[in-house]
């Protein structure tokens, strides 16, 4: 049996490099995806349900990803203007500026 085509080997090497880079900064691929989606919509806060839909994950998974990103200072939660301020389920996520 022959080895993998060069393109697959290169692709694997790129993914491995990228994974190592993210991991060395404490960011999983899922968290990176959230950050990129927030960056794409950085002009307006975005509802976590919308982020979950765009990322192809459940709302519960998205809540966990945002919890960790908020804890680590990458994102912040802002109250939804359409819900009472004491409703912790209703919030928008926005990207924090990272020094």
Backbone angles phi, psi at 93, to 5 degrees: -100, 145
- Alpha-carbon distance of 41 to 16, in angstroms, equals 28
Instruction: Confirm whether 60 is domain-assigned.
Output: yes
pLDDT at residue 3 greater than cutoff 90: no
Instruction: Confirm whether 1 is domain-assigned.
Output: no
Instruction: Confirm whether 17 is domain-assigned.
Output: yes
Q: Which SS3 state, helix, strand or coil, does residue 75 take? A: strand
Instruction: Confirm whether 26 is domain-assigned.
Output: yes
Instruction: Confirm whether 22 is domain-assigned.
Output: yes
Position 1 scores a pLDDT of 44
pLDDT at residue 76 greater than cutoff 90: no
Residue 54: closest CA among 72, 36, 71, 42: 36
Domain count, the chain: 1
List, as one string, the DSSP characters of 6-29: HHHHHHHHHHHHHHHHHHHTT--H
- Residue 72: which domain range? 6-95
For position 19, which CATH number holds?
1.10.10.10
Instruction: Confirm whether 68 is domain-assigned.
Output: yes
Dump pLDDT digits (tens) for 16-45: 998 999 999 888 999 999 989 888 876 777
């Amino acid at each position: 049996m022959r080895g993998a085509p060069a393109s697959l080997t290169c692709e694997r090497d790129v993914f491995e490099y990228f994974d190592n880079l993210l991991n060395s900064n404490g960011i999983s691929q899922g968290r990176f995806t959230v950050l990129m989606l927030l960056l794409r919509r950085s002009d307006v806060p975005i509802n976590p349900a919308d982020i979950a839909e765009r990322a192809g994950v459940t709302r519960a998974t998205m809540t966990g990803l945002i919890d960790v990103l908020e804890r680590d200072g990458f994102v912040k939660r802002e109250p939804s203007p359409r819900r009472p301020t004491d409703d912790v389920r209703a919030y928008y996520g926005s990207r924090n500026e990272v020094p």
